[in-house]
Amino acid sequence: HRALEEWMASFEPGPETVWPTAPPARANAQNEGYIEAIDRESLLSLVAEHGLLIRLRVRPGDFLVEGELLAEVWPAATWQAHA
């Protein structure tokens, strides 16, 4: 788990991070329970294939209830305008 935590920390937004002002698509929990793992390879594939910006709102070990926010997602056209 330490390697995942270090990888996740490397993507922490800094104070200079500017998030798109357009409303994101929201990915919400469909069940309650603990986040056991995040499949970073699949996320990176989605980002690369579809040009997405994904802002994860959870980390392994977090407990979620149904409907709680997991991630926000913007299409490339939205976030590249802010780069």
Residue 63: alpha-carbon gap to chain centroid: 16
Query: What CA–CA distance (Å, rounded) separates 28 from 7?
Result: 23
Q: Are 66 and 33 in contact (CB under 8 A)?
A: no
- Model-level pTM? 0.70
pLDDT classification of 72: cutoffs 50, 70, 90: very high
pLDDT classification of 69: cutoffs 50, 70, 90: very high
